[in-house]
A and B are shown apart, each in its own frame.
Chain A
Amino acid sequence: MTAQPQKIQTQAETSLMQQFAFLDLEPSRQAAADRLNESGLPHRRVEEWKYTDLRALLKDVPQLASAQSVVPTTAGQPLVPADFVLAVVDGIPQDLANAGANASDAAKEAVSLEIGLGDAKGFHEKPNANVDFNMALASSGYVIQVRKSAVTPIIFIDHIVSKADAITAACRHSILVESGAQAILVERFSGPEGSAYVASSGLSVIVEDGAKLTQARVVAEGDQSSHLATIGARIGTDAIYEPFVMTLGSHLVRTDVQITFDGEQSHLGIRGATLVKGKQHTDMTLDVDHASPNCTSIEQFKSVIADEAKAVFQGKIMVKQIAQKTDAKMMSQGLLLSENGEFLNKPELEIFADDVVCGHGATCGDIDEEMLFYLLSRGIPHPVAEIMMVQAFVAEAIEDTEQPEIIEAFEAILADWLASR
C-alpha cells in the first residue's frame, strides 16, 4: 500500500471549493473550477507565482455576491468625461438604462452594450490560475462592441464594492473593437477600507484590423482587500492597443495581462504605474506573445515603493519564430522610498526569430541624491523635492498617454497619493 500525500487545504481553498460545489456551473466555468480544485491556489513553487504566493497571501474567499444581494447603485464621478458610464456593484453589472445619457448620437450609434458573459477569446489558451479563478467565479459582466465610426467613444466602468462585510465580487467583461473602430475604455476599482473583500475581474479584449483601443485603469481598492485581475487581449492587423494600469490601493493585487499579436503591422503600448505603501503587495505579470511579424511593442512600468510594501513586476515577451522584424522594448523601474520596501523585477525575453530588435531594462534605486541636492540648493524643501522626484519618475510613463484628460486624472491621483503619505 502506498501512502497518498495528503493535501491540506487553506481556509481560502476550502471556502472556494465549497462555493464551487454549490454553484451550478456551466461547462466552461466548471472546467476552470475543476482545474483550481485539482491544483489548489498557486504558491511559490509555481514559477509564475514565486513572488506572490497566493496560497499564503489570500486568507479567505468570502461569499460570492449575487445579483439578489446587491443594492442597485450608480457609478461615481467618472475619472474622465465619458460617453457611457457603467457601474459594476459587488461584481454585478448594473442596469444600462441611463448608461449613455451623455453620449452623442454618433457615439450611441457606434457602441452596443449588453449585460452578460461574453467570450474569453482575448486570453491565452494555456491555463492560468488567475484566469481560472475569474472564469469559475464570474457569472456576468458587460459585453461591449464598438463599430467603425467618425467618433472615438469613451466608456467608463466604475467597479464598486458597496458592502462593509467581506464578500467576493467577480465579473468578466469583453470588449470588441471592430475593424477600423476606435474606443477609449476607462475603469476604476474601489471599495470600503477595512474590509477583507476579494475582487476578481476579467477583461477580454479584441482589437480587430485597423482598430485602436486606449485603456486606462485605476486600481484603488480598499486597504484590506485582495484584487485579482486578468486582462487578455488579441490585436489584429494594423491595429493599436494602448493600456495603462495604475495600481495604488488594496492589500494584495495581482494583475495578469496576456496579449497576443494576431496580425502584422500592429502596435502595443502597455504602461503602468504602481504606488505602494504600508504592507501592500502588488504584482503585475505580463505575458506578451509576438506571434506575428512586423509588430512593435513598448512595455513601460514604474513602481514607487514606500514603507514595507512590496512590488513585483514580471514581464515576459515571447517572440515566435514567425515574428520576424519584431521591435519590442520593455522597461521596468522601481523607486524605493524606504529602507524596508522591496521591488522584485523579472524581465524575460524568449526570442525564436532571428531578425528582431528586442530590449529590456530593469532598474531599481533610491531617489537620485544629485538630483535631489540640485532641487534643495534652489530652496525647495526636502518633502517638496521628494514629491517632485517621484512625480518626475512616474510622469515618464504617464506622459506617453495620448489623452490629456487621462494624463490629468492620473497626475491628480499621483499627487493625492503623494500628499497622503
Chain B
Amino acid sequence: MKTEKMTYEKPTIQKVEFDTC
C-alpha cells in the first residue's frame, strides 16, 4: 500500500521579540 506524502514546505524560523503571559 502506498502512503500519500505531505506537501513539502521549506522550513522557516521567525524570531518574535517580547518585552509588559
Report if A and B associate in a common complex.
Answer: no
Interface residues of A (CB under 8 A from B): none
Q: Which residues of B contact A (CB under 8 A)?
A: none
